[in-house]
Chain A
Amino acid sequence: DTAVSQTPKYLVTQMGNDKSIKCEQNLGHDTMYWYKQDSKKFLKIMFSYNNKELIINETVPNRFSPKSPDKAHLNLHINSLELGDSAVYFCASSRDYSGGAETQYFGPGTRLLVL
């Protein structure tokens, strides 16, 4: 009965490959997010979807493309992976989008290593 789940947990791949990370939440939330946490633990938002619609798109290379087939799922596809993409990617969800007024629930993270 995991609230926010991500797959895979670990992803090791070669530079130039394309990979996807999947996220699902069973909390009935309307809003989902993708964050990137670098080696120094700095957590930065990448995207946010509210009811399957993109509402936040921070300055992220267009090699990263989120897709929300329904409001319980938000997947992240990354094309032409680069060394600098190595990081931990977290999915999160919140009841709705109210900026910082809503508690966010995080998934366990996907550790991506690009060789």
Chain B
Amino acid sequence: SQQGEEDPQALSIQEGENATMNCSYKTSINNLQWYRQNSGRGLVHLILIRSNEREKHSGRLRVTLDTSKKSSSLLITASRAADTASYFCATDPSGNTPLVFGKGTRLSVIA
């Protein structure tokens, strides 16, 4: 069964605005990753956050993790048209298990 659920399913914003996507999961995790998928392409890794971390930054990306609420958020600041893509969270539900991906949030950044 699916572990991660992204919210919203789709998001449309103007260039320069911030975009926030959320991921909720059901069981305890060791790690949570965020990936981006441009239309017609493979997934590209953005950031990994471990269960003992609360926040990580990478350029214009900020990821938070709240293990008590079993949720994570991805914030993209000062969005650009090139950020238009689907964003997926992926979790490892327990131990040495494979990543389980959510269905993604489709982000459209309008120039």
Q: Which residues of A contact B (CB under 8 A)?
A: 4, 33, 40-45, 48, 56, 58, 90, 92, 97-101, 103-109
**A41-B86, A109-B42 given; A100·B101 CB < 8 A:** no
Q: Which residues of B contact A (CB under 8 A)?
A: 2, 29-33, 35, 37, 40-45, 48, 50, 86, 88, 90-92, 95-101, 103-104
User: Closest residue to A35 on the B side, CB-wise?
Assistant: B101
Q: Is the CB of B43 within 8 A of A40?
A: no
CB < 8 Å neighbour of A106 from B2, B42, B91, B104: B42
User: Closest residue to B88 on the A side, CB-wise?
Assistant: A43
The 4 closest A-B pairs by CB, nearest first: A100-B92, A106-B42, A100-B31, A43-B101
Q: Is the CB of B45 within 8 A of A99?
A: no
Q: Is the CB of A90 within 8 A of B29?
A: no
A43 to B3, CA, bound (A): 12
Closest CB-CB distance, B46 to chain A, in whole Å? Answer: 10
Q: Is the CB of B43 within 8 A of A48?
A: no
Q: Is the CB of B33 within 8 A of A100?
A: yes
